[in-house]
Amino acid sequence: MSKVKTISIPNFTTASGSYYDKVELHYQHFGRNCINAPVVLINHSLTGDANVAGSSGWWNEIVGPNLTIDTKTFAILAFNIPGNGVKNYIIENYQDFHTGDIAEIFYKGLQVLGVGKLFALIGGSIGGGIAWEMAALYPSLTKNLIPVAADWKASDWIIANTFLQKRLLENSKDPIRDARIHAMLTYRTPASFSERFGRTKNLEKNIYNVESWLIHHGDKLFKRFLLKAYKTMNHLLASVDITRNGESIEKVIKSIESDIHLIAIDSDIFFTPEEDQKTFKIGRNLKKKIYYHELNSIHGHDAFLIENKAISKILRKIFKT
């Protein structure tokens, strides 16, 4: 496992005007040196972290030696979203921030590390939203922009789900477990549950196996995630919007110099493929190099963490260059 390192971003003012004399940015580095190799930045999902490669890495079938994102060729960076609880770092007034602020902090982190240009900027779920935010703020930052199971804004559906998550996190007697159980229903699909569980029962517990599985995921997150971190990440997810300052999406997409690769999942009921299809329809009238890729899976939103071969097949065409 790559060591978690820390950068301090001094004198940071959020878009809402809140001043912080220091924001801590924790990150991990895999592969080659950032100075003499093409750099890839990978942004994690809501309850994820910067540990993308190695034995416990969440994308360790995609990022590593001789894999699709080859650590022998690329320098891979991953930042922890400030306030996600890594090294117990929490932002008390997390409402001061939106994902555009996180994008700015990530950019400043790249500057500290001496990285002026990325080969690829990738993100899954909220990480893809932050990737969009970075590209909107710094249109020449990356050669390839690759949002995966993500969008440039929080849709009404995302806002509705984060609203329920917020209520669970604030009002439940068991907030992390209950919020996680609800979240898992949006990350998977009815077909995925049917294939996996088939209405079978856990005879020892006398409950359905799907219930046992949901309890397990609630317990698992409870053991490793802080309540304030969950509230922070949920708040940030609802804030994704690269048009928040009044620019049209057409103007923002046109300004982005990157090749844009939208990767959607056909069964995703969280960041739905229809939203990416709308973005692609807008973008292809403005840019030559915008592409839409759709991954076929019954597993819904979480397919970007499950269907590694299918994701690799899409990414390989980009990274072989």
CATH number at residue 192: 1.10.1740.110
Confidence of residue 154 (pLDDT cuts 50, 70, 90): very high
The verdict on 47 and 191 lying in the same domain is no
* Average pLDDT, integer, range 242-263: 98
The verdict on 149 and 271 lying in the same domain is yes
How far is the C-alpha of 117 from the C-alpha of 307, rounded, in Å? 29
Whether 268 contacts 301, CB under 8 Å = yes
The verdict on 56 and 134 lying in the same domain is yes
Structure-block tokens of residue 200: 């079978």
Report the SS3 class of residue 56: coil
Range of the domain at 220: 157-236
The verdict on 146 and 264 lying in the same domain is yes
Per-residue pLDDT at 18: 98
pLDDT digits over 33-55, tens only? Answer: 999 999 999 999 999 999 999 99
Confidence of residue 244 (pLDDT cuts 50, 70, 90): very high
Per-residue pLDDT at 180: 98
The verdict on 300 and 248 lying in the same domain is yes
Confidence of residue 260 (pLDDT cuts 50, 70, 90): very high
236, 258, 273: which is the final residue of a domain?
A: 236
The verdict on 173 and 77 lying in the same domain is no
The verdict on 141 and 257 lying in the same domain is yes
Confidence of residue 112 (pLDDT cuts 50, 70, 90): very high
Per-residue pLDDT at 142: 98
Per-residue pLDDT at 284: 97
How far is the C-alpha of 155 from the C-alpha of 141, rounded, in Å? 26
Number of domains composing the chain: 2
What type of residue sits at position 168?
L
Query: Domain holding 91: CATH number?
Result: 3.40.50.1820
The verdict on 225 and 246 lying in the same domain is no
The answer to whether residue 176 scores a pLDDT higher than 90 is: yes
The verdict on 136 and 28 lying in the same domain is yes
Which stretches of 63-117 are assigned E, i.e. beta strand? Answer: 63-64, 69-70, 75-79
The verdict on 36 and 101 lying in the same domain is yes
The answer to whether residue 1 scores a pLDDT higher than 90 is: no
* Average pLDDT, integer, range 140-165: 98
236, 254, 281: which is the final residue of a domain?
A: 236
The answer to whether residue 163 scores a pLDDT higher than 80 is: yes
186, 202, 236: which is the final residue of a domain?
A: 236
Structure-block tokens of residue 63: 């990022």
The verdict on 58 and 9 lying in the same domain is yes
pLDDT digits over 276-303, tens only? Answer: 999 999 999 999 999 999 999 999 999 9
The answer to whether residue 146 scores a pLDDT higher than 80 is: yes
Percent of the chain with pLDDT over 70: 99
pLDDT digits over 79-100, tens only? Answer: 999 999 999 999 999 999 999 9
Structure-block tokens of residue 81: 């979203």
The answer to whether residue 145 scores a pLDDT higher than 90 is: yes
Whether 230 contacts 162, CB under 8 Å = no
pTM over 0.95: yes
Confidence of residue 62 (pLDDT cuts 50, 70, 90): very high
Angle, vertex CA 106, rays to CA 102 and CA 110, nearest 5? 170
The verdict on 231 and 251 lying in the same domain is no
